[in-house]
């Protein structure tokens, strides 16, 4: 007797949870913190690892000074120093370009970042205290199509901040 009642109550409640997983339904980032950057393992000098933290709530962009090669298993732990407001305004549009499909992906590694010394991109979001991160290949042939425009934008933004 309880099963039909449970289905009548739980069924409609479960429908939004089931349909919310559609790959294009993730909301764009709003006040979420976005950490982004690039890394190269076979490289020398300060420019080998560039990480930035964009914080729309504080309206700041900060650059990491640790310059540590990112882990494939844990979010990046950096130490950040503020950049100019002009740098913040330049990087601000990137937060809206994060693809919904990326936000819905559970894999932390996409493609083969830095496998052939071609480097990788690091992207991390933080929302309501939950950190999610991805290491993304720089070679488009190793990436799903939905990431092509975003990785192009990452490259342009990172180069513009150097």
Closest CA to 123 of 138, 144, 141, 140: 138
Cα–Cα distance, 103 to 131 (Å, whole number): 11
pTM for this predicted structure: 0.79
Q: What is the mean pLDDT of the chain?
A: 83
154 or 31: which carries more pLDDT confidence? Answer: 154
Cα–Cα distance, 147 to 149 (Å, whole number): 6
39 or 1: which carries more pLDDT confidence? Answer: 39
Q: Go through the domains of the chain in sequence order and give each one's CATH number.
A: 26-161 (3.30.1560)
User: 37 pLDDT exceeds 70?
Assistant: yes
User: 20 pLDDT exceeds 60?
Assistant: no
């Amino acid at each position: 007797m309880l099963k039909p009642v449970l289905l009548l109550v739980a069924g409609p409640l479960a429908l939004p949870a089931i349909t919310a997983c559609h790959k294009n339904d993730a909301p764009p980032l709003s006040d979420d913190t976005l950490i982004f950057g690039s890394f190269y393992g076979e490289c020398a000098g300060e420019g080998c690892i560039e990480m930035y933290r964009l914080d729309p709530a504080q309206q700041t962009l900060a650059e990491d000074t640790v310059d540590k090669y990112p882990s494939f298993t844990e979010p990046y732990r950096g130490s950040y120093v503020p950049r100019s407001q002009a740098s913040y305004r330049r990087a601000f549009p990137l937060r809206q370009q994060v693809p919904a499909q990326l936000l819905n992906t559970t894999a932390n590694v996409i493609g083969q970042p830095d496998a052939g010394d071609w480097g990788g991109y690091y992207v991390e979001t933080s929302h309501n205290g939950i950190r999610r991160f991805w290491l993304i290949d720089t070679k488009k042939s190793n990436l799903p199509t939905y990431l092509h425009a975003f990785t192009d934008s990452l490259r342009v933004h990172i180069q513009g901040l150097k």
